Amino acid sequence: MTETEGTEGPVIDVRGLRKAYGGAPAVDGVDLGVERGRITALLGPNGAGKSTTVEILEGFRTPDAGHVRVLGADPSRAGRAWRARIGIVWQEPVEPSPLPVRDLLRHFAGYFPDPLHPDEALELVGLADRARSGARALSGGQRRRLDVAVGLIGRPELLFLDEPTTGFDPASRRRFWAMVRSLAGGGTTVLLTTHYLEEAEALADEVVVLRSGTVAARGDAATLGGRRTARATVSWTEDGAARRVPTDEPTRTVAELAARFGGEVPGLSVHRPTLEEVYLSLIGEESGEHGEAAE
């Protein structure tokens, strides 16, 4: 089989992946399957095995055991033709070049058989107006967007995004999300690692949570860890005091309260577990920074 064959099945097909360092397992039996055009978010705290798993998928580390196929090939043995089909946005920003932004992208485009035009890549990441600027003159957030443009320049079939929106302001982050959705809609497969839980919730078709080198849970953000069917908490104010009740039937509880109060219920709210709460329970943490997963 050549490096351009075997893409009818899953873009990423991993079974029983294992990798240890000094006898200590970093990845201990991970299974992962990603279909074409899907966005998968990989979450987990430090030491969960995210980086090792992704580096194996990118071909930078060799597994100790397990079946690993990415775009139909074994990443540890794949060559230039296979590498031209993937794009990588690294967690650490690339050292800025003295070249103007457009010339830098033109340089990277020369490594690929069918690259994007540099101006198209700059438009995608919101840097069209900085095409003639030196890369070193860009702000931190703009440099991060340039890293993304470099990852996209080869029209990758599979795009690895490692903490891609670090340094983005909220508006830029949402523009970036729209771009990623557009890429996936056009058939690009995306594997995303992020410490922004709202980013995973906004983008991912599937969320995979790693803990201690194993898969703790997988599913879409709405159902992960039983989130959709988890018990709700109905809260209200009565006789000057805050009241709350856990219930499997929040609609019935609210209807009973409305009947009792004869209409509006003071201070009414219905709460189901957030993605953050589910994530923290899955990794064994009781608290954390709002909207962020441990790195």
- Model confidence pLDDT, tens digit, residues 104-145: 999 999 999 999 999 999 988 889 999 999 888 888 778 888
Tell which CATH architecture fits domain 12-224.
Answer: 3-Layer(aba) Sandwich (3.40)
Give domain limits for the chain.
Answer: 12-224, 231-271
Q: Which of 20-34, 80-94, 166-180 has the lowest mean pLDDT?
A: 166-180
pTM of model > 0.85 = no
pLDDT at 74 over 80: yes
CA contacts within 13 A on the Cβ side of 32: 35
Mean pLDDT value across residues 84-113: 88
Under the banding of pLDDT at 50, 70 and 90, the label for residue 283 is confident
Secondary structure E strands in the chain:
12-21, 24-34, 39-43, 65-70, 86-89, 158-162, 189-193, 206-211, 214-219, 232-238, 241-247, 269-271
Average pLDDT of the residues in 9-25: 95
Tokens found for residue 51: 């980086």
Q: What is the mean pLDDT of residues 214-219?
A: 93
